[in-house]
Amino acid sequence: MTARQRDENPAGIHLPLDPLPGHSSRGRLERVLRRGEFAVTTELNPPDSADPEDVYNRAKIFDGWVDAINAVDASGANCHMSSVGICALLTRMGYAPIMQIACRDKNRIAIQGDVLGGAAMGVANMLCLTGDGVQAGDQPGAKPVFDLDSMSLLETVRIMRDNGKFLSGRKLTTPPQVFLGAAVNPFAPPFDFRPIHLGKKIAAGAQFVQTQYCFDVPMFRTFMQKARDLGHTEKVFVLCGVGPLASAKTAKWIRSNVPGIHIPDAVIKRLEGAQDQKKEGKQLCIDIINEVKEIPGISGIHVMAYRQEEYVAEIVDESGVLKGRQPWKREIRRDDQMVADRLDHILHDEITETQVDMVKTAH
């Protein structure tokens, strides 16, 4: 296990961190996991907006409670601000994003370009997804791509990182230093195949996985037992997906309309019997966390609180999973004003004759 180190860049810039032996990235999430600490990740609900403040306001609510924030890539095949755009904004402020990449909308050329662009911005974590079909979203007439799937995408980014090459074989000048992730669903049939499928993703390059929502802990225990028997938990960090349910009505709708999410009858009955269903949904999430954190092979949780992001801090706090540890928190930095002054200088100062000549020469 790596010795405890501060997750700060000694030069005063929060990311990237100094490289460590045996690490494939220079980010915080990999450090937390390799130290054996219980990691907490979450998702940022992407805005339907071009205002960067909409991203920053949504990220602030997670300050000091999570180790990384998923930048969602058009989940459900619905268009929002892009994952790459959100990552650009988050890394600018020192946050540690997990850049989701879905294969639905881009071919391998565009995807490989996004991997390099994300890594250049300081993105240390990438989650490889196949992506929902376009028929699931509000623009079903869109043309799907699916040039790659989650497995071949993992292999693609791994080749870029470890071999320093594009899929074409052309060499990269500087390979991306990234921690590779994937999604797994222990609650979708065929259940016996799910641990085997996890093994395939590990072989393709997955170093950490985030699971689908867990509302059935006994079923999840069975999955994890099989994963341990196959030796998977020695090769990959498993983060269990959890989240609060707003009401029994919401739970029923999700169970009927969102493929891959399994919600037992007992969960719905518990919500129906509660005086305050939203509060009970939060408590249910905490109870599930307290059960799954004791399962051997679990390295953390992935809290998905769609439209209930204000509960994430309470859920993490009341579950006690951090054990007194405080993840990175955004604080005012001394260099913030320096950066602002430099941008103002670039944008508003007069262009010198030399700069004009340089532009003319370039053309």
Q: What is the pTM of this model?
A: 0.88
Instruction: State the average pLDDT for the chain.
Output: 91
Choice between 339 and 230, residue whose per-residue pLDDT is larger: 230
pLDDT bracket for residue 360 (50, 70, 90): low
Token pair belonging to 16? 């990237």
What is the per-residue pLDDT for 202? 98
CB 38 within 8 A of CB 293: yes
CA distance 262 to 118: 33
- pLDDT over 80 at 10, yes or no: no
Tell me 205's DSSP state: T
Strand partners, 26: none
8 pLDDT above the threshold of 90: no
Q: Which of 5-14, 229-238, 316-325, 326-335 has the lowest mean pLDDT?
A: 5-14
Q: Are 40 and 65 in contact (CB under 8 A)?
A: yes
d(CA 15, CA 9): 6
Query: Given this model, what pLDDT does residue 19 score?
Result: 85
Q: Which whole number is the average pLDDT over 247-259?
A: 93
Radius of gyration of the chain (CA): 21
Euclidean distance between CA atoms 145 and 142, whole angstroms: 10
Q: Return the CATH fold of 26-359.
A: TIM Barrel (3.20.20)
Q: What is the mean pLDDT of residues 88-109?
A: 96
75 vs 136: CA distance, rounded Å: 9
Q: Range with the lowest mean pLDDT among 10-14, 18-22, 326-330?
A: 10-14
Whole-number pLDDT of residue 17? 83
Among the ranges given (72-86, 179-193, 264-278), the one the predictor scored with the smallest mean pLDDT = 72-86
pLDDT at residue number 113: 98
pLDDT of residue 74: 80
pLDDT at 4 over 50: no
pLDDT bin (cut points 50, 70, 90) of residue 2 is very low
Q: Residue 82 is which amino acid?
A: S
Q: Which residue carries 């093994």 as its tokens?
A: 199
Nearest of 178, 74, 166, 168 to residue 113 by alpha carbon: 166
Exposure of 234 in the CB half-sphere (CA atoms within 13 A): 5
Question: pLDDT band at 291, cuts 50/70/90?
Answer: very high
Find the farthest-apart pair of alpha carbons in the chain and give their distance in angstroms, rounded: 75
- Region of 307 please: left (phi>0), alpha (psi -120 to 50) or beta: left
Residue 98 forms beta bridges with which residues?
A: 70, 125
pLDDT tens string 198-228:
999 999 999 999 999 999 999 999 999 999 9
For the chain, give every domain's residue range.
26-359
Contact 72, 100 (CB under 8 A): yes
The answer to whether residues 283 and 266 touch, using CB atoms and an 8 Å cutoff, is no
Cα separation, 70 vs 152, in Å, equals 21
Helix ranges, 93-207 (H): 108-120, 150-162, 194-204
Confirm if 241 and 212 have CB atoms less than 8 A apart: yes
Residue 292 confidence (pLDDT):
98
Q: Model confidence at 14, in pLDDT bands (50, 70, 90)?
A: low
| Cα 129 to the center of its chain, rounded Å | 11
CA dist., res. 72 & res. 78, Å (int)? 11
Q: What is the mean pLDDT of residues 11-28?
A: 83
